[in-house]
Structure 1
Amino acid sequence: MDQILHRLEHCYQHAEQHFGRTFERPQVTLDLRGQKAGVAYLYRNLLRFNGQMYRDHRDDFLLQTVPHEAAHLIAYALYGERIRPHGREWQSLMTGLFGLPAHRCHDYPVPQRRSTRYLYRCGCPEHIPFTPQRHALVRRGRRYQCRRCGDLLHFTGQQHRVG
């Protein structure tokens, strides 16, 4: 975490010199999981980073991901909330200020997540798999119809793991 904070401080000092103003430092966590390397919460002045991706790709993460997320908060501070997340203001910070390519997404390998699928039936011969989120909606009363035969879909009581 110390290296992330050091790199972040470097980005902020560089922006402060360039723009002749100060920027409030964000709160930083390493608790992000899943497919994203980092997320900037503009209204909360918070940066969340993916600890596993940081450990697996430390050098590139410090070089590219930390400035990427810092640029979101700096762009918000400079231009307000009406800018696009990866719009020209953010891009100009990445390329013009930090001298980095303005890549929208990382290219770190992301292992496929194991997940459960809940099997539903209608009048068609094959099962229709539902995600846990959609299955939860059915349990709360939502109903779904088959797009092919029009019958209501009913949970079979079966589930299987994917991935």
Structure 2
Amino acid sequence: MKSPRLPIAVQQAIMRALRDNLLRANQQLARNYPLPNLSYSQRGTAAGTAWLEKWEIKLNPVLLMENQQAFIEEVVPHELAHLLVWKHFGRVAPHGAEWKWMMENVLNVSARRTHQFEVASVRSRTFPYFCRCQQHQLTIRRHNRVVRGETRYHCMNCGDPLQPGQFSAD
């Protein structure tokens, strides 16, 4: 699926949210961190990613168009917090105590690790795999890792290795 063309008003609202959150953080931390680069090139089911060394935030344009207000209120601060934590504390756990502190005490946003957006519009082709108790859908990336023999996945419920093929309940 091709990414939607983002209206200027949406891009401006995202940039305003980024600037406002960065200003709040710089004031609270007594720092002068620069505005990160912003791109709309995130794909898949992730709403966004923070690229620490590049000082860049990538946002998913499809999910953004479907969840504009949530991106402004949650996703932009979430990804900005990753960058700020990296600059302020160095390399730490991605959603650890420092990130939670940055979200809640500096940016005044609830520290949720993952989004709850509907992702049907961005979900890629999946492959059916089975265990003893259920069918699983593996992404093409995970399927290819299995095919290349790089890894095996196991069911979190019954612990059996996932196998391509037909479901057979015992």
Normalised by the length of structure 2, the TM-score is 0.68
Match of 2:73 among 38, 63, 70: 63
Matched residue type, 2:78: H
Residue 89 of structure 2 corresponds to residue 84 of structure 1:
no
State which of 19, 37, 40 in structure 2 corresponds to 1:27. Answer: 37
Does 64-73 or 94-103 show the bigger shift? 94-103
Instruction: Report the equivalent of 1:94.
Output: 103
Alignment match, 1:158 = none
Q: Report the counterpart of residue 57 of structure 2 in structure 1.
A: 47
- Offset at residue 116 of structure 1 (A): 6.6
Distance 2:119 2:77 in 1: 21
CA deviations on 1:115-149 (whole Å, 9 max, x unpaired) are 2759xxxxxxxxxxx956258748xxx9xxxxxxx
Q: Which aligned pairs between 1:103-118 and structure 2 lie closer than 5 A?
A: 103-111=112-120, 113-115=123-125
The answer as to 2:6 corresponding to 1:6 is no
Give the structure with higher Rg (CA): 1
Is there any run of 5+ residues in structure 1 with no aligned partner, and where?
A: 119-129, 143-163
Separation (CA, whole Å) in 1 of partners of 2:124 and 2:41: 20
Deviation >6 Å, runs of 4+: none
Instruction: Answer yes or no: is the 8 Å Cα contact 2:48–2:58 preserved in 1.
Output: yes
Distance 1:8 1:114 in 2: 29
Amino acid at match of 2:65: R
- In the alignment, residue 30 of structure 1 is paired with which amino acid? Y
Letter in structure 2 aligned against 1:77: K
- Tell me, in whole angstroms, the C-alpha distance in 1 between the residues paired with 2:104 and 2:90: 20
Provide the TM-score with structure 1 as the length reference: 0.70
TM-superposition CA deviations, 1:7-50 (whole Å, max 9, x none): 00101100111111100221110111111000001111111000
* Residues 95 and 133 of structure 1, relative CA distance in 2, 3 Å threshold: same
Task: Count residues with an aligned counterpart.
Answer: 130
Question: 1:88 corresponds to which letter in structure 2?
Answer: A
Q: Show structure 2 runs of 5+ residues with no match.
A: 1-10, 129-137, 151-170
Q: Which one-letter code corresponds to 1:110 in the other structure? A: V
Between the aligned residues of both structures, percent identity stands at 28
Q: Distance in 1 between matches of 2:29 and 2:94?
A: 20
SS of structure 1 residue aligned to 2:40: strand
